[in-house]
Amino acid sequence: MNNENLSISYNKLWKLLIDRGMKKKDLQQVSGVSAASIAKLGRNGNVTTEVLLKVCKALECDISDIMEIVKES
């Protein structure tokens, strides 16, 4: 897998929230992650591993359940 045109997608996270009947605000409250970090996730932006760990702990899931590497079109 060459690394050109690859990016991180958090679509799995948003699908998981929908499946659990949660909103981004709910995620922010249960995880203790800042609104700015939630916004970065919403833009598929860069966040720290600490943020990802807090999200995984709050949702009791694995990192692969909330993010994936995708080819950009």
pLDDT digits 0-9 by tens, 31-55: 999 999 999 999 999 999 999 999 9
Assign residue 48 the CATH number of its domain: 1.10.260.40
- The tokens 């919403």 sit on which residue? 42
pLDDT of residue 45: 94
Instruction: Identify the H or E element spanning 22.
Output: none
Please give the tally of structural domains in the chain. 1
Name beta bridge partners: 69: 8
Residue 1 pLDDT > 60, yes or no?
no
pTM of the entire structure?
A: 0.89
CB-neighbour burial class of residue 10 (10 A; exposed 0-12, middle 13-18, buried 19+)? buried
Q: Which domain holds residue 29?
A: 6-65
Whether 59 maps to a domain, the answer reads yes
Q: What one-letter code names the amino acid at 44?
A: N
Burial (CB count within 10 angstroms: exposed 0-12, middle 13-18, buried 19+), residue 41? buried
> Which DSSP symbol is given to 53?
H
4 pLDDT band (50/70/90 cuts)? confident
